[in-house]
Amino acid sequence: MNAHRVGAVLTALAVLIGAPAATADLVTGLVANWRLDETSGTFADQSGNGHTGTGVGAPHGSGANGLLVGAADLDGDDDYINCGDMAAFEITDSFSAALWLDLDAPPTDFDFYLGRQTSGTVKQGWRISNGSSGKREEVRVIMTDAEGDLMYEDSGAVLDGAAGWQHLAFTYNGNPAQQGTGANQTIPGLAVYVNGSEIEGLGTSALDGSSDISPGGVDFSLGTRAADGAGEVAGDMDEVGVWGRVLTPDEIAALYNNGAGRLIVPGPASLAVLALGGLALLRRRRSS
């Protein structure tokens, strides 16, 4: 941990004395955590699980373009980060993901923010992206099995390049039988969050749990779908996390840290997770 970040951590802890904490340690179930501060070389996985990200194109930022320090700087053309063979979740697994995003402009085409998904007609896997044609400014979380059956939920129009940094997250409870089938419905067990709050969006479910959503031979990626280079994102991306469990609403709020100063006050093993959300408060306070 560099001196800049150590100072920020100490300041954050001082700010948070007496503040309420979220109900669980965000290190629990952590699969990967990329701060994306790097200005060259690979992108370190702070979880300790070794899911190092490799830059494709030129996704490195300046070291000062992030919420606190640096962030990936994606040009919307050929920049993305390949994180290898990870996040092989199945439809019966519980999992969550979160990231900070500062788009250059409201999206008008397909944006792939993070996930693991094949190309072709049946896009097996899962992702956080924007919506389909006519819904480009909506956040979409989608899961598709090997048979082409899918489940997705949209947020409503929230993606705005003029809004600055926005926090996107979702949780899934691993119970496909709970989802039911049909279109234009709220999907039980799949929750989409924007800026710390759950969005009661509508979607479609046709998954029955009989087929895998985890595609073999396809890498997890940030900023573009690695399988075919589709969905190039134009903007900055920061503080990405993936968990093998359902985060609670309080934990999502702690990641966003919506100005209330709520943050996990960690033990020594948890310092790496501070950057995921709470330290963004310092950036906001300094700029206010």
Q: Domain residue spans in the chain?
A: 3-287
Q: What is the mean pLDDT of residues 219-239?
A: 97
Residue 185 pLDDT level (bands cut at 50, 70, 90)? confident
pLDDT at site 179 = 65
16: left (phi over 0), alpha (psi -120 to 50) or beta: alpha
User: Beta 182-185 vs 203-205: how paired, if at all?
Assistant: antiparallel
> Does residue 273 have a pLDDT over 80?
no
Indicate the burial class of 277 (C-beta count within 10 angstroms; 0-12, 13-18, 19 or more).
buried
C-beta separation of 241 from 87 below 8 A: no
CA distance 266 to 258: 19
pLDDT at site 216 = 83
Q: Three-class SS of residue 53?
A: strand
Residue 157 pLDDT level (bands cut at 50, 70, 90)? confident
pLDDT at site 209 = 74
pLDDT at site 4 = 38
How confident is the model over 50-108, as pLDDT tens digits?
Answer: 999 999 999 999 999 998 889 999 999 999 999 999 988 988 899 999 999 999 999 99
Q: How is residue 44 written in tokens?
A: 């370190």
> Does residue 226 have a pLDDT over 70?
yes
CA distance 181 to 279: 40
Q: What is the mean pLDDT of residues 197-208?
A: 83
Q: How is residue 27 written in tokens?
A: 């290190």
Closest listed residue to residue 129, CA positions, set 233, 213, 38: 233
C-beta separation of 56 from 207 below 8 A: no
Share of the chain above pLDDT 70, in %: 78
Q: How far apart are the first and last CA of the chain?
A: 27
CA distance 37 to 142: 28
Lowest-confidence region among 16-30, 63-77, 126-140: 16-30
* Of the options 3.30.2270.10, 2.40.30.10, 2.60.120.200, 1.10.10.10, the CATH number for the domain spanning 3-287: 2.60.120.200
Indicate the burial class of 217 (C-beta count within 10 angstroms; 0-12, 13-18, 19 or more).
exposed
> Does residue 199 have a pLDDT over 60?
yes
DSSP 216: T
pLDDT at site 268 = 36
The kind and range of the H/E element at 167 are: strand 166-172
Q: What is the mean pLDDT of residues 214-239?
A: 95
Closest listed residue to residue 161, CA positions, set 221, 198, 126, 111: 111
pLDDT at site 241 = 95
Indicate the burial class of 250 (C-beta count within 10 angstroms; 0-12, 13-18, 19 or more).
middle
| Residue 163 φ then ψ, to 5° | -85, -10
pLDDT at site 184 = 72
Report which residue type is found at 229.
G
How confident is the model over 208-223, as pLDDT tens digits?
Answer: 777 889 888 899 999 9
Q: How many CB atoms lie within 10 A of CB 167?
A: 25
Residue with tokens 């609670």: 248
pLDDT at site 21 = 52
> Does residue 265 have a pLDDT over 50?
no
Cα atoms in the Cβ-side hemisphere of radius 13 Å centred on 161? 11
pLDDT at site 25 = 80
CA distance 235 to 230: 15
Read off the pTM: 0.84
Longest dimension (CA), the chain: 53
| Residue 170 φ then ψ, to 5° | -150, 160
C-beta separation of 149 from 206 below 8 A: yes
